[in-house]
Amino acid sequence: MSTTTETGAVGNTTPTAPAGPPTGRPAALRRWRDLGSRWLFLAPALAILVAVLAYPLFYTVRISFSELDLATFTPARNVGWLNYRTVLEDPGFLNSVKVTGVYLALALPLQMVLGFGIAFLLNVDWRGRGVLRALFLIPMVVVPVVAGGVWKMLLDPMWGFVNYVLGLVGVGPVDWLADPTLAMVSLVLIDTWRWTPFVVLIASAGLMSLPTDVFEAARVDGAGWFATLRKVTLPLLAPVILAAFIVRWLGAVKMFDIALAATKGGPGQATDVVNLYIYEKAFRGLEFGTASSMATLVLALTMLLTFLFLRLNRFLEKRW
């Protein structure tokens, strides 16, 4: 892409140029028309994205510096950094950032390890492999809010299936969603159930594409399975692992539906992830100014971390 991009409007490498060298007005006209048609390809997407993505982002930042007039629902007056100061002193917001951090720190590594582990298990060449892999698609397409609701049912202290099974081995009943720590564990559990299959699919594709001769060489050199894993498999898989991590990260920072359906952020604020907290502030509390400040902070933090992960990805891709 890069080489053709630089030539820009001249378009000397494009195949539109007819067989002979173009001369005079028709050629110029054609060139302009070609430039127009190139941009027409981009126009619909750019127009929609500017209207529904770029403009709202800009508007969020603007509201974050103003006080919203609740009669007209428009930004009324500029209050400078006041909203930000309020937000940074709001224990609820700080708690939600912490809760989100804990959730990410638990869920993402767990899903990566489980996902790659299961992909390894499923990678045996036998008749049922394709069927198992197809079945693993199913949790992934369960609507998240349904997943939250159904798991709430499974975890119910009275009639839930999980507690029934625990009862068989003499544990419980455990009121999963009523205890702050266990509620977080449950949230991570539900999210892991829904998203590990995604990692499994990515990891399976990665495992299948590993070159064979390297393993042969490792075997000839007498490497044990652990040495092979550490010195050969993991480095080779590193780009896939990081790519799967980045996609999961992009999804996980948006955590909202499952928490809303399963715990509503409770008990107390134990599972009040930041998206849920901002949603409640804005659309229940009608505190649009401070909610926008929180959203802007979350946006900045997310973009920063995403940027770092992408840089790390590129670095690793170059190294291996």
Site for another protein, residues 158 to 177, rule: CB under 8 A:
158-159, 161, 164
- Name which of 85 and 219 has its Cβ closer to another protein: 219
Cβ contacts of 185 within 8 Å, gap of 6 or more: 176
Q: Is 268 in the site for another protein (CB under 8 A)?
A: no
Q: Which of residues 71-110 bind another protein (CB under 8 A)?
A: 73-74
Kindly determine how many residues on this chain lie close enough to bind another protein according to the rule CB under 8 A: 125
> Least distance to another protein from the beta carbon of 184, Å?
18
Residues 196-255 binding another protein (CB under 8 A) are 196-198, 201-202, 204-208, 210, 212, 215-216, 219, 225, 228-229, 233, 239-240, 243-244, 246-247, 250, 253-254
Instruction: Give min distance, CB of 105 to another protein, in A.
Output: 18
Q: Which residues contact 139 (CB under 8 A, 6 or more apart)?
A: 147, 193, 194, 196, 197
Stretch that binds another protein, among 21-29, 76-84, 90-98, 142-150 (CB under 8 A): 142-150
- Least Å distance, CB 304 to another protein, is 9
Measured from the CB atom, is 74 or 78 closer to another protein?
74
Q: For residue 246, what are its two tokens?
A: 């980045």
Angle between helices 180-208 and 144-154 in degrees, nearest 10 = 130
Strands 66-69 and 74-78: antiparallel
